[in-house]
Chains A and B, each alone.
Chain A
């Protein structure tokens, strides 16, 4: 009896699996899209910054090939240009919708959740249509997707069907009547499209965002992604206005986006202002502290210099040239203590910035910071990092800074 029940369940599950994973026929129809739909799709693609994962460094837009390191191995962003052989050119709108909402491609293969379909699942039909219209009108680029580097059992795609059973929530983003229209719009954009949680929410051992720890902090490409709620560790608080400024270009209180956040801000600079304001309203609701005036940075200069004399001296001799001018050097904040990364649980972000510098998109106004990888040794960078941590943070010393620096040098060198 139990065996028959099990057999029915297994057969049923298998049937269901095959039913949902059928290959969808090629669509070779001549597609014509209303210009407004394409334009809106472009804005949505910028809000979802699709290009940043689906474009290789110096590669053609949306043609894939960008490596994304995960705890399970390295995967590659795919070619989503309308190329018929190597891109999504043969996808009907239905196939596109299944990809985005169910994480199943046209051929019926399950996609890895590094592609955040757990968010895109909640997109409205209109927005999916617009995104489809936009992608199908891009320049088609023949570019074969590189094979992912995954070890067993992660390279067994069908297992992802089980993952989705556990984690994929396709319910539309609900409206909260107690909140403004702008907040609700922001919630929709963030949860369904901009997928902030993909980096800013911790993931469990199966790589899924932990719903109960929404916005508690996370990871992106070996950078720390800070919390977007009350757990935000820096004493420099946010307002909706300052968050809007940061997301659009730069905030006088916190500075500008670097690392994996930089392309997000670059994309948000191109979308309608009200969409960014909506995002700031939604994220600001958990991140901002209304009624509380912006806290000052807590300076512990003399003790920090005593505890880390080398770091203090290096800082004074090098960093201070640009970073102790009262913010007179463009895109520097008055005190480095305003930067969130100083309050991170680990020094990775600070190490990245010192090793690699900051470079704006070419031809545009933006921060220029030289890379110090060749000027400073691991020990010297560690001293500076320890000094900055001691000077501003009450969060305790960072551990193993030098080892982290050596590791990041290896992983980021060309």
Chain B
């Protein structure tokens, strides 16, 4: 049994220790955010945030995650109470098929946590690890800019993490 800290809560999981976090999130914990895109660390659809940094959950076995803080899309906010970043994506209508978007949001969340006023060039470079096939990039950039601007204007710190829902 391995204990994981997911979105602020302790979760005991009985998956094999070498199971990549992605399958534990989606299977055992029934969280939909992180997605399978390639399993090779090339596309970022599986991106989650671990101790504030963006990480490919498809290549991270749960055995190394004891004592580390895992944040998934669900930890940022819910449909009834989305976080400022999630709200920015909704306001910019930054999605077509939407499959890549959770990974995008998590990577952006890590950036905005470390740097509240990134330049456009910094955002593009930071997001380079994540792929989008529908061509939603410009709206994703607009959403991240919007969220950064909103946070900056409000003098906000990193968005508060919502409690994970059962």
Chain A residues in contact with chain B, CB under 8 A?
A: 313-314, 316-318, 321-322, 329, 357, 368-370, 374-376, 380
Contacts and interface: CB of A to CB of B under 8 A. Distances in A.
Interface in B27-79: 39-42, 50, 53-56, 58-61, 63-64
Interface residues of B, number: 19
Contacts of A370: 41-42, 56, 59, 129
B64 A321 contact: no
22 contacts: A313-B63, A316-B18, A317-B64, A318-B59, A318-B60, A318-B61, A321-B20, A321-B39, A321-B40, A322-B40, A322-B41, A329-B40, A368-B42, A370-B42, A370-B129, A374-B53, A374-B54, A374-B55, A375-B59, A375-B60, A375-B64, A380-B64
B41 A314 contact: no
Contacts of B18: 313, 316-317
Contacts, number: 48
B17 interface: yes
B40 A374 contact: no
B50 A374 contact: yes
A323 to B, nearest CB: 11
Contacts of A329: 40
B70 to A, nearest CB: 12
Given A370-B129, A374-B50, A375-B50, A317 B63 contact: yes
B4 to A, nearest CB: 15
Interface of B: 17-18, 20, 39-42, 50, 53-56, 58-61, 63-64, 129
A10 B17 CA distance: 75
B130 to A, nearest CB: 11
A357 B54 CA distance: 14
Nearest to A357: B41
B69 to A, nearest CB: 13
Contacts of A376: 64
A156 B55 CA distance: 48
A370 B46 CA distance: 13
Contacts of A314: 61, 63-64
A327 B64 CA distance: 26
Given A321-B58, A374-B50, A375-B55, 8 more contacts: A316-B18, A317-B18, A318-B64, A321-B39, A368-B42, A370-B129, A374-B53, A374-B54
Contacts of B54: 374
A370 B50 CA distance: 16
Contacts of B40: 321-322, 329, 368
A205 to B, nearest CB: 39
A269 B40 CA distance: 27
Nearest to A375: B55
A360 B91 CA distance: 35
Nearest to B16: A317
Nearest to A330: B40
B50 A317 contact: no
Contacts of B129: 370
B135 to A, nearest CB: 16
B71 to A, nearest CB: 13
A318 B54 CA distance: 16
A338 to B, nearest CB: 20
A369 B56 CA distance: 11
Contact of A369 (B39, B41, B60): B41
Contact of A317 (B17, B41, B53): B17
B61 A375 contact: no
Contacts of A369: 41
B142 to A, nearest CB: 23
Contacts of B60: 318, 375
A378 to B, nearest CB: 13
A259 B56 CA distance: 22
A380 B64 CA distance: 9
In the A-B complex, the 7 residue pairs with the smallest Cβ-Cβ separation, listed nearest first, are: A317-B61, A370-B41, A374-B53, A317-B18, A375-B55, A368-B42, A370-B56
A237 B59 CA distance: 32
A127 to B, nearest CB: 38
Contacts of B55: 374-375
